[in-house]
Amino acid sequence: MSQQALSPYQLVAGVAVITLDNPPVNGLGLALRLRLEEALRVAIADRAVRAIVLSGAGRGFCAGGDITEFDLPAITQSPSLMALFGLIEDSPKPVVAAIHGMALGGGLELAMACHARVAHEQALVGLPEVHLGLIPGAGGTQRLPRLVGVETALNLIVQGRTCQAYTMRDSGLFDQLTSDSPLDAAQALALKLADQVGSGSALRRTGQLSVHMHDAAAFFAYARATAKAQSRGLPAPEAGVDCVEFATTLPFQQGLEGEFEVFSRLRTTAQFAGLRHVFLAERKALEVEGLPSATSPRPVERAVVIGGGTMGSGITISLANGGLSVTMVERDQNALDRGLMTVRQHYEGAQKKGRLSAQQAEQQLSLIKGALDYQGVAEADLVIEAIFEDLQAKREVFEQIDALARPGALLASNTSMLDINQIAAFTGRPQDVLGLHFFSPAQVMKLLEVVEGERTAPEVMATAMAFARRIGKTAVVSGVCEGFIGNRMLQPYMMQAGLLLDEGALPHQVDRAIERWGMAMGPFRVSDLAGNDLGAQIREQRLTQNPNLVYSRNFDAITRMGRFGQKVGRGWYDYVPGQRAPEPSGEVNAAIEAESRRLGIQRRIISDEEIVERLLFALINEGAKILEEGIAQRSSDIDVVYTAGYGFPRWRGGPMFCADQLGLKYVFARMRHFAGGHDYQRCEDFWRPSALLCQLAEREQSSSALNQSEKS
């Protein structure tokens, strides 16, 4: 082994360049902390070293602490981040951070402990800890206000916003920004600082800077109230305000201690547990089971979207946002004009709201064109069909695509309910066919269900997952079944919502109970938004397949009354023009009571707790069945579907994580209890627990077992 390899740093003209190297994002786990501590100590003692530069290997500087370490003994093992950053700040030799790619969370805290920072203009910086239910816990809340002032610090910490370094150019966070190599610039700056130290100047240590705030008490009271109003009961944003206030009222060391106390308290909350679960689950979801490790994705640059309606236009925008060139194909000029107009209006709106510059909007629009024929298909790497939900019509489209597409192109359908295997069989290349189930509005919703058919090739799955990442979607693999993961689970959930009405609840009570619990929108508000006529169509289809389908006849009554939802101003609620909140409807409520009488049910007061449990357990039971059938790869994938696509509160970790937290035995016992309810709706059938749930509850296992792939 060469001398060079043994050295913990590279010595360049008197500068020790210490490289953080822990792929993929240089997470500050114990092993890296130990290496960094050693390198710093050696460099500080080495007479040949005049200054130190910290730099990151690979994609970026450092994306922060190692979240997987949080419940392992390693997290408390020395050196802690706090101690390490103290060592840097106290170093007698200048330490400069050279930031490329990203400096996030603990990575930015590390940079702030240095005596100077040089960043690439486009590097992503921020303290996103609140999104995990935490605050920066290694000095971030004390150092940031000292560098950039209280207001800017609060914005970054409380909102967990990440931004490109150049947007912070005047903030004081960086000593230098560059469009070239931050490492070269950092080395030059480090030597300059070493010269200054040599001629007797003191180093600028962040912890020694003071923070000034005029009328601090009033300012923080206002900031706390704003954080509280925006955080929907989550404690972290308010705690972030408290910590920034410490920076203005306490000496640095005491501020650090105060911050650590708050951080340690947040780390024990249920909210942190849920948010961390989803964070890790989203990363895990990218792994496609059974994929040979050598599988590499095919390049995807050119796409064709067939159909420019609600979904087709949203998908077109999503693809262009990801930098793909897209041709939207429609069946006639009017429809094409409408589709392209929707796209154009989107970009105009984004520009008006300041989300895109005129140049960016123009650039993305230039990637999009329209066509009335399938010529573009021959050159496409990916074709996404988004015509209306009709198997015969889809057959015609897929036969045409099959005849024209080049070998290896991915052929996808955006169908919500149809069988991908059947669609694949319309082509001579079922291995290249899959479902790409976007959610409405497709340019906004994060979730993408990647539906794997019986014959979809591993390489096609790998390509679809890479493509999803490129267009910024949260992808989850689903097998083929009616409604895939998300919509299939929605059926029993909606069914329970209906039965609650039959038994004594009213729509606003059901919605209020589950919204207070944390769902973004209750089932009846969702139904009004999606269109009750659409729900009726789906129910009709399902009834032809299963005439014994259990559901509340209140759903039929609503459509009979022409109450199709928000689009007509009337649904489960009345929508009064100019009024944001929907109004409970006397007419609907009377119809619900009449239905209970017809059924001979004595209406009763149903507690919010029962409403929440029945809705949640309906999701959990179906989720367990989905897992048992191998439709979902793992239980945490189901949590990703619900948190990314269905407004399930992220901090509750998703339905399957909730089951775990409550204990499967408890969930099972409550389901048995609900099964003893009104037999008019064959509760026994509805609440028949999934075999997997029975098994796990019996064995007193928790969903840590469910979190493995459970296909055996």
What residues are labeled active site?
Answer: 109, 129
Q: How far is the CB of 240 from ligand NAI (least distance, A)?
A: 37
Among 173, 275, 335, 693, binds ligand NAI (CB under 6 A): 335
Kindly report the CA angle at 137 between 136 and 139, in degrees rounded to 5?
Answer: 90
Residue choice 18, 397, 538, 640 for contact with ligand NAI (CB under 6 A): 397
Choice between 310 and 360, CB closer to ligand NAI = 310
Adjacent-strand bridge partners of 327: 304, 369
Residue 284 sits in the site that holds ligand NAI (CB under 6 A) = no
Could you give the CA distance from residue 523 to residue 615 in angstroms, rounded to a whole number? 9
Identify which of residues 22 and 416 has a Cβ nearer to ligand NAI in the complex.
416
Amino acid at residue number 180: D
Does 393 sit near ligand NAI (CB under 6 A)?
A: yes
309 scored as a contact of ligand NAI (CB under 6 A): yes
Q: Which of 106, 308, 370, 582 binds ligand NAI (CB under 6 A)?
A: 308
Contact by Cβ (8 Å): 595, 502: yes
Residues 97-136 as x/- pattern, contact with ligand NAI by CB under 6 A: ----------------------------------------
Nearer to ligand NAI, 331 or 542 (CB): 331
For residues 555 and 436, what is the distance between their CA atoms, to the nearest angstrom? Answer: 29
DSSP label at 570?
B
Find the binder of ligand NAI among 388, 549, 598, 669 (CB under 6 A): 388
Q: Is 524 or 686 the residue whose CB approaches ligand NAI more closely?
A: 524
Residue 608: both structure tokens together: 């919010």
| Residue (of 642, 667, 636, 644) closest to 277 by Cα position | 636
CB of 379 to ligand NAI, least distance (A): 18
Q: Looking up tokens 């695509």, which residue turns up?
A: 401
Under DSSP, is residue 563 helix (H, G, I), strand (E, B) or coil? coil
Among 155, 176, 226, 310, binds ligand NAI (CB under 6 A): 310
At residue 167's C-alpha, the angle toward residues 161 and 169, to 5°, is 125
Q: Is 697 helix (H, G, I), strand (E, B) or coil?
A: helix
Q: Does 416 bind ligand NAI (CB under 6 A)?
A: yes
Q: Which is nearer to ligand NAI, 438 or 467 (CB)?
A: 438
Q: Could you give the CA distance from residue 281 to residue 277 in angstroms, rounded to a whole number?
A: 6
566 lies in the site for ligand NAI, by CB under 6 A:
no
Interacting positions 219-248 with ligand NAI (CB under 6 A): none
Among 389, 515, 574, 628, binds ligand NAI (CB under 6 A): 389
Which is closer to ligand NAI, CB of 154 or CB of 442?
A: 442
415 binds ligand NAI (CB under 6 A): yes
Q: Does 645 help bind ligand NAI (rule: CB under 6 A)? A: no
Q: How far apart are CB 440 and ligand NAI at their closest, in Å?
A: 3
Closest CA to 523 of 509, 536, 537: 509
Indicate the residue type of 492. P
Q: Does 528 bind ligand NAI (CB under 6 A)?
A: no
Among positions 130, 154, 156, 387, the unique one binding ligand NAI when judged by CB under 6 A: 387
Give the SS3 label for residue 126.
strand
**Part in contact with ligand NAI (CB under 6 A); list of ranges 40-48, 273-281, 308-316, 508-516:** 308-316
CA angle 622, 623, 624 (to 5 degrees): 90
Q: Kindly state the number of chain residues that form the binding site for ligand NAI, as judged by CB under 6 A.
A: 23
Question: Nearer Cβ to ligand NAI, position 28 or 387?
Answer: 387
Rg (CA), the chain: 28
Convert residues 345-384 into a mask of x (bound to ligand NAI by CB under 6 A) and - (unbound): ----------------------------------------
For ligand NAI, the binding residue among 386, 475, 624, 693 (CB under 6 A) is: 386
| β-pair partners for 176 | 118
The number of CA neighbours under 13 Å toward the Cβ of 484 is 32
DSSP state of 120: E
Which residue's beta carbon is nearest to the bound ligand NAI? Answer: 309
* Closer residue to ligand NAI (CB): 345 or 708: 345
Q: Which is nearer to ligand NAI, 58 or 531 (CB)?
A: 531
Tell me which residue of 365, 366, 371, 320 sits closest to 345, measured CA to CA.
Answer: 365
The residue (of 159 and 310) whose beta carbon lies closer to ligand NAI is: 310
Residue tagged 């909140």 (tokens): 581
Q: Counting contacts by CB under 6 A, is residue 478 touching ligand NAI?
A: no
Site string for ligand NAI, 433-472 (x = CB under 6 A): -----xxx--------------------------------
| Contact with ligand NAI (CB under 6 A) among 331, 344, 469, 567 | 331
Could you tell me if residue 184 is left (phi over 0), alpha (psi between -120 and 50 degrees) or otherwise beta?
alpha
List, edge to edge, every strand of the sheet that includes 102-104.
102-104, 124-126, 162-164
Cβ atoms 450, 478 nearer than 8 A: yes
**Exactly one of 307, 376, 582, 649 binds ligand NAI (CB under 6 A); which one?**
307
Per DSSP (E only), the strands in 516-636 are 573-574, 583-584
End-to-end CA distance of the chain: 47
Q: How far apart are CA 189 and CA 182, in angstroms?
A: 10
Transcribe 185-213 into DSSP letters. Answer: HHHHHHHHHHHHHHTTPPP--GGGS----
Q: 3-class SS at 557?
A: helix
Question: Does residue 312 bind ligand NAI (CB under 6 A)?
Answer: yes
Span near ligand NAI by CB under 6 A; candidates 88-96, 132-140, 328-336, 375-383 = 328-336
Residues 187-216 touching ligand NAI, rule: CB under 6 A, are none
* 482 binding ligand NAI? (CB under 6 A): no
Alpha-carbon span 127 to 177, nearest angstrom: 19
311 binds ligand NAI (CB under 6 A): yes
Among 538, 534, 540, 711, CA closest to 633 = 711
Question: Interface with ligand NAI by CB under 6 A: which residues?
Answer: 306-312, 329-331, 335, 386-389, 393, 397, 414-416, 438-440
